[in-house]
A and B are shown apart, each in its own frame.
Chain A
Amino acid sequence: MIEIFSFEFMRNAFMAGIMLSPVLAVVSFFVVLRRLSFVGVGVAHSAFGGIALGILLGISPTLTAIAFAIAVSNAIGYTGRHGKLNSDTAIGIFFAFAMALGIIFIGMSDQYNVDLFGYLFGNILAITGEDLIIIALLGGLVLISIFLVFKELLFVSFDREVALVSGMPVAFLDHFFFTILGVSVVISIKIIGIILVSALLVIPGAAASQITDRYIPMIAIAIAVALISTVGGLFFSYYADIASGATIVILSCFIFFILFIIGRCRK
């Protein structure tokens, strides 16, 4: 127990996981309600393009990744609403586009020692104090802003058309939501990795929905699921010496299955 906290990188990883859990849980609550599970996948992959651009330009990959993720996330939301595309198709197009750009950027850059693998699969060794500050600031911003427009977001997720005619700023709320989705994805990449981060944008909310049909308990349970998965996953990955992101995701899947079975049995 003591040993694990004697390493600074483990302390950083735990802090990051604990701060990210409520953010991912609350966002996943809305992702599940709005049936946007695959938007998370698309946005996470598009962040790769941003990271590659950051590496190419020699600036903070987090910044460029956030820009990419927000742009792609909103583009998916926009075409989903306005074009003759459903969001599935839009995701397929935009995420391929951003990934392809990323591969080209990486090819153009002469830096071969960048830890691409770390971005794809997560690398808790790479979490710096600066990352923690970014997570705290942006994660806090995401949580506070959701809290402020919670009732409007809830209404729009429930019944768009009626929300629109009763004066809810539907277009604004959509872009707001896609923006915080993009931000949440990017700040979680270092700990979980591009490939798996979308799992935590779905599983906490989905797991919670198995055992409750009230929104406040659902959010609370989602936060608990995310916390247990990240903290437990970090412990387990440390002692078993396996990839932390994957461990966190597998643990959250187990919790999902357990809650799924409990939910079934209670019916």
Chain B
Amino acid sequence: MKEHETDIGNKKAVYAELQDVWVSYYNKWVLKSICLKCYQGEILGIVGPNGGGKSTLLKVIMGLVRPQKGVVKLFGHRPDKHTRLEVGYLPQISKADRSFPVTALDVVLMGLYSRVGFLKRPGNKSRKVAMEMLDRINMAEYAEKSFGILSGGQQQRVHIARALASKPKLLVLDEPSTGVDSVAQEDFYELLAKFRDEMNISVIMVSHDIGVITAHADRIACLNLQIHYHGEPDSCFEPEIMQKVYGKNLNIMVHDSRCATCLKKHEHND
């Protein structure tokens, strides 16, 4: 993992880039002068407080929110119809209808529709890919179950499988671990790392769990209105940066059993 971080320099392709992006809702800035790069083959973690603009930032990348100012580039150029095929997205709050008459497998198949193409139906090959993906997320036994009867966490896993199914070059995940139990979370992050290593894909992932981010992200961006830090996770935990990003209630964020850096810092302080 270390060597992975170090060779992200100028060699690697930039898969997602924001240049001086500004976004406002009702005359209030929610993103100010955002510059961000996500390289090929890295997991970029985004942390920040509630309302800090993380979801908005992802929506800008996905083209769901148009910035007032600034440039978004995917795979080196302006997003168009073709780039969409290469991006998988998992929204923070799924607007999917719980009582929808589909199976878990049907939902994962939807992730493949754009690959299947207009006027065509997903065939056996797509089914196989979708099944594989459900299997990797440990949901294979639920493939033929109705989506509506699954638990919230199981549904989230199905959504994750849907986002991964088309094997996108860039995965944009808004709090993917919401409602997913910790064993499944570990599996999921391992799966992400595997995807990154096998297929050299990039992942942009928002999480509130700093422990998770330090353990699994190659680089990190701390966001609260502006980007306060953009780099490797370890040095993010400078008190000044944390103070800027999270304000006074910093301790809430710093306590985390899995976060070695944070623990060290605490021992230091005590």
Contact = CB atoms under 8 A, between A and B. Distances in A.
Given A33-B100, A158-B102, A161-B95, A213 B111 contact: no
Given A33-B100, A166-B84, A167-B81, A158 B110 contact: yes
Given A167-B81, A167-B114, A161 B101 contact: no
Contact of A159 (B96, B114, B146): B96
Given A152-B113, A215-B102, A218-B101, A161 B91 contact: yes
Interface stretch (B115-123, B130-138, B204-212, B244-252): B115-123
Contacts of A151: 110, 113, 116, 121-122
Describe A's contact surface by its main secondary structure.
helix
Contact of A164 (B64, B100, B122): B64
B64 A214 contact: no
B44 to A, nearest CB: 18
B113 A155 contact: yes
A209 interface: yes
Nearest to A215: B101
Contact of B89 (A33, A152, A162, A168): A162
Q: Which of A33, A165, A209 has the most CB of B within 10 A?
A: A165
B113 A165 contact: no
Nearest to B100: A158
Given A157-B97, A160-B95, 14 more contacts: A33-B100, A148-B119, A149-B118, A149-B119, A155-B110, A159-B97, A162-B94, A163-B110, A166-B89, A166-B110, A167-B85, A168-B114, A214-B102, A218-B101
Interface of A: 33, 148-149, 151-152, 154-155, 157-168, 209, 212-215, 218
Give me the 3 closest cross-chain CB pairs, A-B, nearest first: A167-B84, A167-B114, A159-B96
